[in-house]
A and B are shown apart, each in its own frame.
Chain A
Amino acid sequence: MSVRIETLVRRAPGPESKVLLDGVSLDVPDGGFVALVGPSGAGKTTLLRSVAGLDAPESGHVVIDGRAVEGLAPRERNVGFVFQNYALFRHMTVAKNIAFGLDVLPRGQRPSKADITARVAELLTLIQLPDLGQAYPERLSGGQRQRVALARALATRPGLLLLDEPFGALDPVVRRTVRAWIRALHDQLKLTTILVTHDQEEALDVADRVVVMQDGRIVQDADPQTLEEEPATPFVMEFLGESLRFEGQISSGQFVPNQAHVGAFDVQSLSDGPAVAMIRPHEVRLHAMREDGAAVRQIGVRYGLIRLSVNLGVRTVEILQPEPTASTFYDCGVQLDIQEARLFRDGKLARAAQEAETGQQHEMVSAI
């Protein structure tokens, strides 16, 4: 089931009327897995609820599977929806919860009792909880409730699955498992899925395409790799992970940072003027300096990389370095090499991430 969203506008109720959705357009192809990410208040949940029919936009269109759905009640849209807090019916057993969507069908369309029981059993197996049909949701762990909510949403075989922060209440280990499992399920059942999350890592892990939202607008809509290499704005860069920011000037083909202890680097095809360089901590390289370098101190380890604190005078930055390289800098000062940075000018991307040439590090050390 494809979804097309055309210039949706939605204002918050009340006299201040904050704009929740500011002309949002989005295309989700059949079979796509799209994640909507952004800080709270970005409008991602409002967008999802508009697709489900739980929220009525003021203008714009939602087209599901080629059919405009304005004025259609949620129950007529055939979408599966998983709420952040799962919204399980606590007075019903797990089996009854899962069967709900089938039980409420009009008599003519409702499958027989035996068929419903069989479908519930099938879904319980799918969510790997075959023995918990008679349990009440209260007895389940967070991860189990989450899977029951998903089974309930899938019982009527919707083509479109909408997930509103479905992993928010889970602990990190369970979260990673469930995430992988949902992706597998999406592929297995050939679903079209829209996931809302404020966790960028989650979005990059699970989705084909990530839509970054800010203040009711879509800032960038791209696959994870493009987002990483060519973030459209500094906001996207910052939102998608830890980043370091260096102001500077471009003059005669070189980016010259305003910051001391940070090396200049060549940039072709950019006119002179101010610019901002942004880089991930693990992309920074260090050059040992014989004199007047910035002091380096180890502060921890992450993902097998050494976390270093570099004192640049006016501020301290934290970077990640592989272990053998890291230890060589403790005794001498360093200069930061940020030539892999993306460059922004006037809030927009001016140069994408660059693959650093290998072996350059040593060359430069000897040059100094």
Chain B
Amino acid sequence: MKHAHNTTRARAIDPLPGFRFALVSTLLWVGLIVALPLTALVMRPWQEGIGAMTAALQDSRMFAALRVSFVSAFLAALIDVPLGVILAWTLVRARLPGRRVADALIDLPFAIPTAVTGITLATLYGPQGWLGAPLARLGISIAYTATGIVVALMFVGLPFIVRSVEPVLRDLPPDLEEAAGLLGARPWQIVTRVVLPALLPATVTGFGLAFARGIGEYGSVIFIAGNQPFRSEIAPLLIVVRLQEFDYPGATSIAFVLLVVSSLCLAGVAWLRRRVARGLITGAAA
């Protein structure tokens, strides 16, 4: 009797209607789409034996490729932050003609096949390209260098920053800026002390997304990078190279390291986001 009473009570305070259905489908999809492939990825390197794995992990070309990937992705995401915030600011605040067109253009990097992006950028920044030729005269070469990788990753990463920041900026109450002005803040003080801190959690989220995308990006990079081992070869490309050599332990060990380091980086981004979100987002760490 008592037991029956308890179940009805539990049902009465159920916060989510259809909780069981939601839970089962969540677990099923996360399991099938995310957890299962990742598990396979974690298991596979060890199948050839510990020896093959340790041998693969001592490959200096692999570490160079991982370094190129992470450093380029980090730099590209970092440079995208001010660009993306300014772009979002313009889209939300400035009543420019053609604003809607610009707004639609922002999402294009999501839609264009990454290979097309890569070829376009390589042509543009190549020694004979519209941008490459004048830059070459100045002694700056972008295509077929590590700089080219950063340029390609900036292109694919920019929409993440803009789209993360834009809705938050749009919802920012205008009275915050008015209040700051009435309290004596100059325009730049309003921006740096009131507006940007309010946008910071969204900016960090956008940074994390752009960074993650940059680590995994393949298509757009390989056309512009030059792909010289130890200098401008990215980790995803090295995986493909290893696969073409039928070196499965080598390919999976790179993937494994990529997975572990990416997880750590994203955990770091999540931690940073919680820190900067103090007071801004309910439930954020105080």
* Contacts from A to B (Cβ < 8 Å): 52-54, 73-75, 77, 79-81, 83, 85, 87, 89-93, 100-101, 103-105, 136-138, 152-153, 155-156
Contact = CB atoms under 8 A, between A and B. Distances in A.
Measured as residues with beta carbon below 8 angstroms from the partner, the interface class of chain B is 20 to 34
A83 B175 contact: yes
A131 to B, nearest CB: 15
A101 to B, nearest CB: 4
13 contacts: A54-B178, A54-B182, A75-B183, A75-B184, A89-B179, A89-B180, A89-B197, A90-B279, A100-B180, A100-B185, A101-B184, A105-B184, A152-B179
Contacts of B185: 75, 100, 104
Contacts of A137: 279
A92 B200 CA distance: 13
B137 interface: no
B89 to A, nearest CB: 18
Given A85-B173, A90-B279, A91-B279, A74 B186 contact: no
A91 B197 contact: yes
B198 interface: yes
Interface in B172-219: 173, 175-176, 178-186, 189, 193-194, 197-198, 200
Contacts of A83: 175, 178-179
A156 B176 contact: no
Contact of B182 (A75, A93, A105, A138): A75
Given A52-B182, A153-B183, 18 more contacts: A54-B178, A74-B178, A80-B182, A81-B182, A83-B178, A85-B173, A90-B279, A90-B280, A91-B197, A92-B197, A92-B279, A100-B183, A100-B185, A101-B184, A103-B193, A104-B193, A105-B184, A137-B279
B13 to A, nearest CB: 25
B7 interface: no
Contact of A87 (B179, B186, B200, B276): B179
Contacts of A93: 279
Q: Of B183, B278, B286, which is in contact with the most chain A CB atoms at under 10 Å from its CB?
A: B183
A138 B285 CA distance: 12
Given A75-B183, A105-B184, A91 B178 contact: no
Contacts of B279: 90-93, 136-138
Contacts of A136: 278-279, 286
B183 A156 contact: yes
Contact of B278 (A54, A77, A87, A91): A91
Contact of B184 (A87, A89, A156): A156
Contacts of B181: 54, 73-75
Contacts of B194: 89
Contacts of B178: 54, 74, 81, 83, 87
Contact of A90 (B183, B184, B193, B198): B198
A87 B194 CA distance: 11
Interface in B233-286: 276, 278-280, 282, 286
Contacts of B286: 136
Contacts of A103: 193
A85 B174 CA distance: 11
B175 A75 contact: no
Nearest to B189: A104
Nearest to B176: A87
A93 B176 CA distance: 15
Contacts of B176: 87, 89
Given A90-B280, A136-B279, A138-B279, A101 B183 contact: yes
Q: Of B173, B189, B279, B282, which is in contact with the most chain A CB atoms at under 10 Å from its CB?
A: B279
Interface string B142-186: 000000000000000000000000000000010110111111111
Contacts of B197: 89, 91-92
Nearest first, the 8 A-B pairs at minimum CB distance are A136-B279, A101-B183, A87-B179, A87-B175, A104-B185, A91-B197, A75-B184, A74-B182
Nearest to B276: A91
A87 B180 CA distance: 9
Interface in B70-129: none
B115 to A, nearest CB: 42
Contacts of B182: 52-54, 74-75, 77, 79-81, 153
A92 B278 CA distance: 8
Nearest to A82: B179
Given A54-B178, A136-B286, A87 B183 contact: no
Contacts of B193: 89, 100, 103-104
B173 A87 contact: yes
A136 B278 CA distance: 8
A183 B239 CA distance: 73
A81 B176 CA distance: 12
A143 to B, nearest CB: 19
A142 to B, nearest CB: 15
A341 B2 CA distance: 66
Nearest to A136: B279
B95 to A, nearest CB: 12
A107 to B, nearest CB: 13
A54 B176 CA distance: 12
Q: Of A100, A152, A155, which is in contact with the most chain B CB atoms at under 10 Å from its CB?
A: A100
A105 B197 CA distance: 19
Contacts of A87: 173, 175-176, 178-179
Q: Of A77, A83, A156, which is in contact with the most chain B CB atoms at under 10 Å from its CB?
A: A83
A54 B185 CA distance: 14
